[in-house]
Structure 1
Amino acid sequence: MTADVWLPIPADEIDGLPPAAESGLVYRYWDGGPDFPADPADCVFYTVPYLKGTEIAVRPLPAMISVRVVQTLTAGTDHVEPGLGTLPSGVRLCNAKGVHEASTAELTLALILASLRGIPRFVRGQDTEEWHAGFYPALADKTVLIIGYGSIGAAIEDRLAPFECARVLRIARSPRATARGPVRPFTEVPELLPEADVVVLATPLTETTKGLVDAAFLARMKDGALLVNVARGPVVDTGALLAELTSGRLTAALDVTDPEPLPPGHPLWRAPGVLISPHVGGSTSAYLPRARRLLAAQLTRFAAGEPLANVILTT
């Protein structure tokens, strides 16, 4: 039996990995292909292939009887959680905190600014040679509510700072004080929604947050408010959102949808007031260098028997 490490990036492309001869680790490359690189029973550290979906993510888990660590390269872990019940006790599930904050926050700001300032209308006008002059909303003086104030939520606020927002309101599972102001509990969402011009969803997908944005949630948003989802599609009830978009009362900017990918012919494609990007919050040039650094650091800790970073839960 060997101490195998499964990586979706070839080991020779990751600087700083513990040397195999000294650590006893054997690096195996697997990015979700039909054939496993070795016997899953020998894997002690499994890095989940990036953006390959739940079926591929969990496929080897039932046979991984020796695994000690499951490492995702995403901020969320919902795509691997269905397979965790097949694992032995004591396995640590780690996420990719530190990899996607900058890219996701960048896209969030891009979606907010594009939606408020009418960029989709301008692009369509350029295609048809129409000049859509007029007054458009600014981000300046707006109140922004961030729901899911973890590391990505904080990175979003970092990038909001220069835009002269009137207020930034913060919601998280664990209320706390920060240098910028209080982070409030989810129980305060209903009273804060009517105050927000822009509502940003950056929360993980859990049993608590699935369907969080339902008809009642949307009804409490102020007329003309913008909903931005960079979390997961099922956080939002698509039917309820379509009703508000069709009425023209709300607008939305969505990097994630339910269903996803959004199929041709789905009414969300042509709903008024919606801007859709194809789940590209973390898929940028910043991803690969940061993912490599994370893996090198985690495996160095693992080989040395040191505590791992980003542990979400232990089975």
Structure 2
Amino acid sequence: MTAMTGDVWLPFPAEEFEGLPDSFRYRHWDGEEDFPADPVDCVFYVTPYMKSSEVTLRPLAAMPRLRVVQTLTAGIDHVLGGLASLSPGVRLCNARGVHEASTAELALTLVLASLRGIPGMVRGQDREDWRGGFYEALADKSVLIIGYGSIGAAIEDRLAPFECRRIARVARSARSSGRGPVHALAELPRLLPQADVVILSTPLTEQTRGLAGAEFLGRMKDGALLVNVARGPVVDTKSLLAELESGRLRAALDVTDPEPLPSGHPLWHAPHVLITPHVGGSSSAFEPRAKRLVARQLNRFAAGEPVENTVLITE
């Protein structure tokens, strides 16, 4: 990669970063209607965080000098639709290293809250209703993690102290990991019936869209818990609703399809479901980690060195 100069678009003001190279002009844009400068001069575009695909993609077609698109999300599905308008050789980079800890924390929170009946206890507190009794523990449960990238591995790191009976891992293809074998997606029919808790942390791709559909859910054991911290469309909502309303399965969802979940949608009031509003990565850990990543990437870019976290290069 050759050293570059030009405009860099940032979703945070440049003065909030430490260690940015001085070879660029920094433009602050977080999805507002007006652009901060002429997109023609942009060479490095850090996308707005948690904005729609329409907003994120709007300037891309007007950026002929662009060399790097840096997302602040682990997933890159929201920018794929705009890549056809870019010149060959543009690098698309994700935010690996930014969201692992926060998303893994929330995944564990959803598991524990669901098993221990915390939502019902909160409702009981509101009504001064003492809801004693026995609740399920994570200890001795069998957990299946589907999507064993950096976030899936971070989830297992946090499950380790909880004395699970078994933790199984699934990714697109089989491989070995420091904690044990990683199984291929093709092995799901065998693995799903063995799991008490199934955690989805996979990217949204054509292979994973609708992955947790009727057949997948039907193979889960009675009473199992499905946790989704991936993307909403990884789960077929209609099929999940049928399982929830029958009482056979439970779910804890940080992401939904559609999203945001509209008022009146049956998922809001389905039995045995806990919903959080896509906040897996939106924690106090986000900004400092995101800013360190961006500064590191820009210093590499300014020096003509390869940027990190490249997930694809336009052709």
Superposition TM-score, scaled by structure 1 size: 0.98
Q: Secondary structure at the match of 1:4?
A: strand
Identity %: 72
Structure 1 residue aligned with 2:21: 18
Superposed CA deviations along residues 195-221 of structure 1, whole A, max 9, x for unmatched, are: 000000000011111000100000000
In structure 2, C-alpha distance between the alignment counterparts of 1:153 and 1:4, rounded to whole Å = 35
Deviation at 1:228, TM superposition (A): 0.1
Task: Give the match for residue 117 of structure 2.
Answer: 118
Q: CA deviation at 1:175?
A: 1.9
**Deviation by residue 1:55-79 (Cα, 9 ceiling, x = unmatched):** 1110001111110000000000111
User: What is aligned with 1:196?
Assistant: 195
Inter-partner Cα distance in structure 2 for 1:305 and 1:241: 48
Structure 1 SS opposite 2:7? strand
Equivalent-residue separation in structure 2 for 1:244 and 1:251 (angstroms)? 8
Alpha-carbon distance between aligned partners in 2 of 1:84 and 1:174, rounded to the nearest angstrom: 26
2:43 is matched with which residue?
A: 44
Partner SS, residue 18 of structure 1: coil
SS at match of 1:106: helix
One-letter amino acid matched to 1:181: G
The residue type paired with residue 166 of structure 1 is R
Give the letter for the 2:237 counterpart: T
Partner SS for 2:81: helix
Matches within 5 A, 1:224-263: 224-263=223-262
Give the corresponding residue for 1:149.
148
Which secondary structure does the structure 1 equivalent of 2:106 belong to?
Answer: helix
Distance 2:103 2:173 in 1: 22
Quote the RMSD (CA, aligned, Å).
1.0
Instruction: State the SS of the aligned residue for 2:87.
Output: coil
Cα distance in structure 1, aligned partners of 2:107 and 2:197: 11
Deviation string 1:74-110 (CA, Å, 9 cap, x unpaired) is: 0001111111111111000000000000000000000
104-113 vs 126-135, greater mean Cα deviation: 126-135
Aligned pair 1:216/2:218, yes or no?
A: no
For residue 5 of structure 1, what is the aligned residue in structure 2? Answer: 8
Whether 2:142 is the aligned partner of 1:139: answer no
Q: Given residue 177 of structure 2, which amino acid in structure 1 is its aligned partner?
A: T
The residue that corresponds to 1:96 in the other structure is: 95
TM-score normalised by structure 2 residue count: 0.98
Secondary structure at the aligned position of 1:177 is classed as strand
Alpha-carbon offset, residue 174 of structure 1:
3.2
**SS at the partner of 1:224?**
coil
Residues 107-136 of structure 1: CA deviation (Å, up to 9, x unaligned): 000000000000001001111111111111
Q: Following the alignment from structure 1 to structure 2, what is the Cα–Cα distance between the partners of residues 207 and 57?
A: 21
1:168 aligns with 2:195: no
Whole-angstrom distance in 1 between the partners of 2:167 and 2:305: 38
Rounded to whole Å, the distance in 1 between the matches of 2:198 and 2:304 is: 42
Cα distance between partner residues in 1 of 2:19 and 2:172: 35
- Note the C-alpha offset of 1:41: 1.0
Q: Following the alignment from structure 1 to structure 2, what is the Cα–Cα distance between the partners of residues 144 and 231? A: 16
Unaligned runs of 5+ in 1: none
SS in structure 2 at match of 1:212: coil
Q: Distance in 2 between matches of 1:305 and 1:169?
A: 41
Q: Quick one: which amino acid aligns to residue 217 of structure 2?
A: L
1:130 is matched with which residue? 129
**4+ residue runs over 2 A deviation:** none
Q: SS at 2:300's partner residue? A: helix
Distance, in Å, in 1 between the alignment partners of 2:52 and 2:166 is 37
Structure 1 residue 205 corresponds to structure 2 residue 204: yes
- In 1, the alpha carbon distance for the partners of 2:276 and 2:103 equals 12
SS at 2:69's partner residue?
A: strand
Secondary structure at 1:70 match in 2:
strand
Mapped partners of 2:92, 2:119: distance in 1? 40
Pairwise CA distance, 1:239: 0.3
The correspondence of residues 171-182 of structure 1 with structure 2, limited to 5 A, is 171-182=170-181
SS in 1 for 2:25: strand
Give the match's secondary structure for 2:173. Answer: coil
The separation in 2 between residues aligned to 1:58 and 1:141, in whole angstroms, is 46
Equivalents in 1 of 2:308, 2:151: separation in Å? 16
Q: Which whole-Å CA distance do the structure 2 matches of 1:233 and 1:282 have between them?
A: 15
Q: What residue ranges of structure 2 are gaps of 5+ in the alignment?
A: none
The amino acid of 1:7's aligned partner reads L
Instruction: Give secondary structure in 2 for the equivalent of 1:122.
Output: helix
Alpha-carbon distance in 2 for matches of 1:64, 1:190: 45
